[in-house]
Structure 1
Amino acid sequence: MIPKTISHYQILSKLGEGGMGEVYLAEDTKLKRKVALKFLPPHLTKDKEATERFKREAQAAAALNHPNIVTIHEIGEHEGQIYIAMEHVDGHSLREEIETSPIEVDMVIDITKQICEGLEKAHKADIIHRDVKPENILIDNDVRVRILDFGLARMKGVSKLTKESSTLGTVKYMSPEQLRGEEVDPRTDIWSLGVVMYEMLTGEVPFKGEYEQAVVYSILNEEIDQKRKNLMSVPLDLIDVIYKSMRRDIHGRYQSVDDILIDFNKVGKRKKSIVSKPSTDAFLSKTQYFKSGFRNSNLTKIILLLIIIVIITIYFTARPRRSLRMNIKALTKSNRNVQSVDISSDGKALVYSAETEKLSESYNLFITWLDEDSTDQITNSTNSEQCPRWSPKGDRIAFIRKAGEDVGIYVMSISEKQEERLPTGRWDYINKIDWSADETNSLLAISGRRSSEVPIAVYLYSIEKKQCKQLSKPLITDLGDIDCSFSPDSETIVFFRGVSTGISGDLFRISVPEGKERQITFTHSDIRDVNWLSEKELIYCWNQNSIVSLYRTTSSGGTPELIIQAGSNWNISSPSVSPVSKSIFYIESIINYDVYRLDISAEKKIPTKIVHLGEYDFIWDISHDGKWILFTEDIGEAGMDLWICDSLGQNQKLLRKNGGAARWSPDSKYIILDGRQPDKSKRDIILLDFLTNEEKIITDSEYDDKVPCWSADGKWIIFSSNRSGNWEIWKKSLENNSDIQLTYQGGDYPALSPDGKWIFYTRERDIYKTSIDGGQESYVFKDDGSEWFLDKAGIYFFDQSTDTCNLCFLHFDSNTIKVIAELGGARLWGWGRVKSGNYIYFSHLEQLESNIMMVEFQ
């Protein structure tokens, strides 16, 4: 509840509210004037991220003194509630004006000019609004326009702000580059202004949809030319301004609002003759205009025009595929995670794997009957059941079950609800299974591996003969062949072959049963969940800049075509195509991490959240004075970006694009990291001067060198490399540039002991150590995929082997394990972790939600 008096402001009434605050009309008792007070909502008062964003709004707007921008008088705080005192505009919003009726052309031009002048002031101050929409435009009683709500503005040079759990801005007004999660500049505001102009003239936005993803698809794929019929009575020059403001190619768009103002002068000169009702004189005038144009044209221009027409005609008539028009809707709405989904051959039922409890490790199988709109749980175990697949006849479901280290393939009869384990042999890991479409239903494709010492391969299992044979032949150094999928005619299996790093690779197809392989794509990128759209087309999920969207291509290769664009905080996975309707079912997932700090010296060891990093971001190191944290942001197939922030998560700054695992030097003057150089896919070790930001390439080879750390004296760099054919631990002298191999039986993710004498590293699921000079290695303890880090007396690690997660400590001297803190049942504590003094910093999977979506093509 807001009190009646705040400082020297007397609250009079409530004006409204938005995502970032509530607004009240108040009287400034000192200056005897009315003001608008904007308060951070009470439930967000303790949210540092929202508070920072709220303060930024005031700082950005207060720096702008312009008649078309709402004036900020003061930013203050009262009893823990932060507020901004701003100019009160006696009028209404542009939204209210539009909802009354479409606005006259003269007024549209006048309003747009004023918006341009306000944005011009902001852009010259390196401030981008990023949320231009009718709700943020006020019009007073004298038709003077004010821009407000710079809460989403981003000033150039300002530290990177944390990601949000919801999409920034309003989707209908967002530019394509915003939707793709790319960097924005003033041209993003120009796109949004184009949408606002269109809406003022027509009463509706140009890109629409019943669901957010449908709007996104419309913005990224539909042509603005298709909307021309709604602008029949609008001056042609004004239409040109709108179209140029909303060009999808950012380089073809207006580069500044100054350019829009210049073109508006043309509109003012011509609009009367163009807008007037058709008449004989007007018709003759246009005819004479076109005749005059042709008389002034020379033969060369005519020939060039004809050539362009021919090229365009050939392009549009020769294209093998046409754009898809579609309707997207959610089939499930829950806050639990769904891992995989499959539609039955008759298109009537979905089977999927989902959490039994939020953020648990147990996944069971469910069937949703689309005709009946009902859902049945068909398994009920404490194990993890994944990748369910309908048989072609729809009478059985095959699935993978993981119980501890035991992995098996099961088949369940739908009518009898009885399951049977198939005798496929021992598996260390299975990624995916898929039925063949032949009438016998007797073949299963399996992407899996028999042991951790071999790459994942595609296997073919005959249910009738109970025989399993390896079909694909990946290199021993590859991650292997995942996401296998049978073609509709059962003669081909498509799969993704990942390289040794597991980040990137390409699609392949292999004939059944001959085993002849053929590469389909050559993008060397992060592709996932490939499936068949038809006998000649594939669909798959493609991770670009940490955004996983849905694409299609021909089964023989070709240019990928975007089907559904994901957002900056949600991704797409597990596409499944209905053979009946050709509808696509897929999973939409939201993933977010938060960073916590734990005081291990406190009596009650309760983690405290300090910052929200976002999707797939995690901590690498903290400076020796405890002031600066190094963390990375996943950008998809390109790797990671390296960032820095203070110990409370504030003052974030980008250190290096394509920079990964990083460690501070003993004197905190330098940072050693792994990163990619321009035009190079492999990672090198790079030395970065913290003060000057100058970098030096330490390793420059055709192999991957990664995860570096320092020797205690700062003279050597220890790192992992695959230059010998396997991942091994190496060290390199910074004085004479010599390289020394330290391990010969495998090693990864090295870490130096605090006394500088030992190197600890992982191999498979175990932790070993060896001397800083190499030699005899010794076993330390079983890793089991937990996150661990070193201390003088032992190893801290997160034990997530049961339903609860514990922070534990292994004492070297006694070889005993002690539970330091009980963190509860939520999984993935410790993804990225570091210790500084009595504090341990680590990331936590805070939000993992997913829903099943359906795309219907029109």
Structure 2
Amino acid sequence: MIGKTVAHYEITGLLGKGGMGEVFRARDIKLDREVAFKVLPQELSGDPERAARFEREARMLASLQHTNIASIYGYEKVDGIRFLTMELAEGEDLSERLEQGRISTEEALNIALQIAIGLEAAHEKNIMHRDLKPANVKVDADGAVKILDFGLARAYSGDASDSQDLATSPTITAAMTQAGVILGTAAYMSPEQAKGKPVDHRSDIWSFGVILFEMLCGRKLFEGETVSETMAEVMKNKIEWSILPKDTPRWAVNLLRRCLDRDPSSRLQSIGEARIALQRGQYHEDEETVATSSTAPASRRWPWIGVVAALLVLAAAIAWNARGGTAPELLTQSTLMPPPDWDFDAGSPFAVSPDGRQVAFVANASRESDENTTAATSIWIRDLSKSESRLVEGTDGAAYPFWSPDGRWIAYFAQGKLNKIDAGGGPVIPLCDTRNGRSGTWNEAGNIVFQRNWSEGLMKIPAAGGTPEPITTLSQERFDVAHRWPRFLPDGQHFLFYLVSTTSQNTSEFSGIYVGSLGSDETRLLLKSGSRGLYSDGHLLYRAGSTLMARPFDAGEQVFTGDPTPVSTDVPGGSISWGGAQFGVSETGPIVHLRGAGATNSLLTWRDREGNSLGVVGDQAGYWEPSVSHDGKHIAVAMGQDAADIWLHDLERDARTRFTFDSADDRSPLWSPDDSSIVFSSARKSVGEIYQRPVSGQGDAKLLNTPGTNITLTDWSYDGRWVLFSSLAPGDQGWDLWALDMETSVAEPILDGPFNESSGRLSPDGKWLVFTSDESGDFEVYVQSFPDAKGRWMVSTDGGNEAYWRADGRELFFLQDDR
């Protein structure tokens, strides 16, 4: 080709070869300019439909004009040769630059910023790159960046659909047979792209993160000897964050963690956020805080907190939106990261100090960290005027923190007690015993209202400690299961709380936000809701769906005075579905909330006896109560938050299919001994129903029994006769253990004493029952004979729950704390 003239292009030299053709330097004789002349593979000539699709894509991509993107000038066919003419990007490509070693942190971040700016411009036009890698990034002598081949991977791959949601990876094609080309692409693929799943702009964000990591470290993040090994590393290998240079700013590390989240729904949702972080970093702003405008994209990974400052401005904005007029000061948002090697706890909401200057939160020791050997959970405090959070020593195992009115103390639940500790540090002071206590509030008169047991009404205790007194009572007429999430109103006498009814939250006429009083046992429904409510500056805040709402509220009269206004989107409910809402607020201060649907997500993971991960099943999602079939080929699992459905995952094909479709909450699936059918709990016609349905999906689910209580199915005996379930009746003090006789469809209690007894499972021979009880004051694992119950032995000695028999019945496995 060199020396030839094609149309009005004089070919002067070879620039490179790749899986999508050869690229030459050429001179446009008509316009007297240097161009890149890309000759496309012959496969296009033999496939007219594919060639036409490529032309449509090329024309669309030619409209993309940006200083950080190499533009496409034209697409032509002359003498049987199909070619593209493109802007000639001078300089060396990034892969050549990386062959010389790592790039300095400052230069790497500058290059990353320009890549992010270019990607953002393309993504705003719904154009993806799909093959972002160092070889497709040019850097000239002045450090200016050009992204090459934008979108051409899709155009060349010949996707069967013109939609934006394409399932086929566009980079591994029949024409790309050179190992170097394939490996170079596979190493930068997103996990979903490597799996052949649908991809979107978040795939480019992953590739961007891989490139930035490689620039900082001077080595590839994923590099196997074969294509399969490389793709396996992309999908499963643990990322070694410790190899990042010591001079890498913390905000840059946090940015990388978000870009390299394997779950697309939890990954950084917009490359614009990366651009903002990199720009802020250039001006040496707070290394741990990335400020965004109030119009920033809503979806973010769950370990980030969105801090809306301040609520007085927010209230003004709400009023202005409602009536029109002069615009108030702009609402701003900031994002805060969890402490290094810790993750925000999805069950305990954030607690904002009364003056709005500090945030107390519970964090879990990160399972990905090899350095963190401290307690599984602890309380941390973040002073919003500072860049780092501090650990509150002595709060091991803490949950549900709340502040004293003067901001001096933090109360919390741990080790079967309600405790308090000086926020500045000091000894832990026990206040009273609890049994799985949850949530509390503290008024200026020194009264604490809290939930002592998760299935009780609310209790009151002096802030100095003492004997709890009941202040609300569970109502059988309302099917009350629990009263939780109390919050004092400004008068210190009335309080908000959330009432949990055993009927489904989606259809319940009772579940919602109530108001109670210290001077009366009467309670009143304020709002039917699936979320707890908090009062702040004349508004009641609550979660509706995934939107945080603020509704004008007269705290003195305890009545609403206006219509609700949305405050923020994509606010998760937390891992506690009943009333859970991951936000916190002071009476006059900022709102703090998690952001992103991933907040309640989990990952199904296989582990060996030492706890080492052997692999994962599927992607991150809201999983509940997984059950493995006896032949080990399928997993049945509930998926969803307040209205879950049962899904079946085929382990051999790595494919998932939906098993139930009802709008009710379907949970706790169990396999029959022959794996031909599944039983599960639901609330389709009444609370606490037990259904059975063939695994084949043929026919409707059959109603077996209606206990009429809140239930969780835990075991289907090996002989097929018994289905065990835990039951919580209205007004009961705890869970009881029941058995459904599959021969007679009659359910009877096995253990129904004054303690919580649950998680019952029969040994393979049917002679022994293992279960969990808190009769000792802590939850422990016990074994007794079945069905005669002649003896009882405590198996665990330092806490235990959810015990399972080994297949031969000779060993038990159970959970203990976070292990």
Instruction: Report the AA paired with residue 626 of structure 2.
Output: W
- In the aligned structure 1, how far is the partner of 2:44 from the partner of 2:468? 86
Aligned to 1:624: 630
Aligned to 2:251: none
- Alpha-carbon distance change, 691 to 384 in structure 1, aligned in 2, over 3 angstroms: closer
Deviation for aligned residue 1:538: 1.6
TM-score by length of structure 2 reads 0.55
Aligned to 2:694: 689
- In the aligned structure 1, how far is the partner of 2:359 from the partner of 2:323? 33
1:331-480 to 2 correspondence within 5 Å? 331-334=335-338, 336-338=342-344, 339-347=348-356, 349-355=357-363, 357-359=365-367, 361-370=376-385, 373-375=386-388, 377=390, 379-381=392-394, 383-384=396-397, 389=402, 391-393=404-406, 396-400=408-412, 402=414, 404-412=415-423, 417=424, 419=426, 424-436=431-443, 441-449=444-452, 455=456, 457-461=458-462, 469-474=469-474, 479-480=481-482
Deviation for aligned residue 1:326: 6.8
Aligned to 2:772: 762
Q: Deviations over 1:731-756 (max 9, x none)?
A: 34444434444333364333232123
Match among 140, 165, 171 for residue 150 of structure 1 = 165
Deviation for aligned residue 1:688: 0.7
Match among 713, 719, 728 for residue 707 of structure 1 = 713
- In the aligned structure 1, how far is the partner of 2:329 from the partner of 2:46? 51
Aligned to 1:594: 603
- In the aligned structure 2, how far is the partner of 1:707 from the partner of 1:458? 30
Matched, 1:636 2:641: yes
1:23-172 to 2 correspondence within 5 Å? 31=43, 89=58, 92-96=61-65, 133-135=125-127, 147=162, 149-151=164-166
Instruction: Report the AA paired with residue 645 of structure 1.
Output: H
1:550-629 to 2 correspondence within 5 Å? 550=549, 552=551, 554=553, 555-556=558-559, 562-566=566-570, 573=581, 575-580=583-588, 583-588=590-595, 590-591=598-599, 592-598=601-607, 606-618=612-624, 620-629=626-635
Matched, 1:211 2:211: no
SS at 2:166 equivalent:
helix
Aligned to 1:246: none
SS at 1:472 equivalent:
coil
SS at 2:567 equivalent:
strand
SS at 2:298 equivalent:
helix
Q: Deviations over 1:693-714 (max 9, x none)?
A: 3221111453344315333333
Instruction: Report the AA paired with residue 518 of structure 1.
Output: R
Contact 1:93 1:134 in 2 (8 A): no
Instruction: Report the AA paired with residue 613 of structure 2.
Output: P
Instruction: Report the AA paired with residue 211 of structure 1.
Output: A
Deviation for aligned residue 1:484: 1.5
Contact 1:27 1:33 in 2 (8 A): no
Deviation for aligned residue 1:789: 1.3
Q: Deviations over 1:611-637 (max 9, x none)?
A: 24424314532223222221221x222
Compare 379-388 and 653-662 and name the one that shifted more.
379-388
- Alpha-carbon distance change, 9 to 748 in structure 1, aligned in 2, over 3 angstroms: same
Compare 760-769 and 724-733 and name the one that shifted more.
724-733
Contact 1:641 1:656 in 2 (8 A): yes
- In the aligned structure 1, how far is the partner of 2:763 from the partner of 2:364? 40
Contact 2:483 2:499 in 1 (8 A): yes
- In the aligned structure 2, how far is the partner of 1:642 from the partner of 1:324? 48
Contact 1:344 1:350 in 2 (8 A): yes
Matched, 1:656 2:660: yes
- In the aligned structure 1, how far is the partner of 2:351 from the partner of 2:804? 40
SS at 2:514 equivalent:
strand
- In the aligned structure 2, how far is the partner of 1:611 from the partner of 1:13? 46
SS at 1:150 equivalent:
coil
SS at 1:637 equivalent:
coil
Q: Deviations over 1:119-166 (max 9, x none)?
A: xxxxxxxxxxxx9953269999xxxxx946533799xxxxx9999999
Contact 1:617 1:631 in 2 (8 A): yes
Deviation for aligned residue 1:539: 1.2
Contact 1:655 1:693 in 2 (8 A): no
Structure with more contact order per residue of length (Cα contacts < 8 Å, sep ≥ 6)? 1
SS at 2:646 equivalent:
strand
Aligned to 2:738: 730
- In the aligned structure 1, how far is the partner of 2:743 from the partner of 2:815? 40
- Alpha-carbon distance change, 502 to 488 in structure 1, aligned in 2, over 3 angstroms: farther
Instruction: Report the AA paired with residue 709 of structure 1.
Output: D
Deviation for aligned residue 1:9: 5.8
Contact 1:345 1:393 in 2 (8 A): yes
Contact 1:94 1:135 in 2 (8 A): no
Matched, 1:534 2:537: yes
Contact 1:759 1:771 in 2 (8 A): yes
- In the aligned structure 1, how far is the partner of 2:196 from the partner of 2:708? 36
Aligned to 1:749: 759
Aligned to 1:481: 483
Contact 2:495 2:516 in 1 (8 A): yes
Deviation for aligned residue 1:492: 0.9
Deviation for aligned residue 1:489: 2.4
Q: Deviations over 1:239-298 (max 9, x none)?
A: xxxxxxxxxxxxxxxxxxxxxxxxxxxxxxxxxxxxxxxxxxxxxxxxxxxxxxxxxxxx
- Alpha-carbon distance change, 162 to 598 in structure 1, aligned in 2, over 3 angstroms: farther
| Larger strand fraction of residues | 1
- Alpha-carbon distance change, 522 to 613 in structure 1, aligned in 2, over 3 angstroms: same
Instruction: Report the AA paired with residue 334 of structure 2.
Output: A
- Alpha-carbon distance change, 607 to 468 in structure 1, aligned in 2, over 3 angstroms: closer
SS at 1:212 equivalent:
coil
SS at 2:745 equivalent:
coil
Contact 1:161 1:652 in 2 (8 A): no
Q: Deviations over 1:520-554 (max 9, x none)?
A: 2345x3x23x310235x321245x4xx57555474
Q: Deviations over 1:771-828 (max 9, x none)?
A: 5545546234248354431122444435544xxxxxxxxxxxxxxxxxxxxxxxxx4x
Deviation for aligned residue 1:494: 0.9
1:315-334 to 2 correspondence within 5 Å? 327-334=331-338
Contact 1:352 1:387 in 2 (8 A): no
Instruction: Report the AA paired with residue 513 of structure 1.
Output: G
SS at 1:211 equivalent:
coil
SS at 1:134 equivalent:
coil
Aligned to 2:681: 674
Instruction: Report the AA paired with residue 448 of structure 2.
Output: A
Contact 2:624 2:637 in 1 (8 A): yes
Aligned-residue CA RMSD (Å): 5.2
- In the aligned structure 2, how far is the partner of 1:533 from the partner of 1:321? 23
Deviation for aligned residue 1:665: 1.4
Contact 1:672 1:709 in 2 (8 A): no
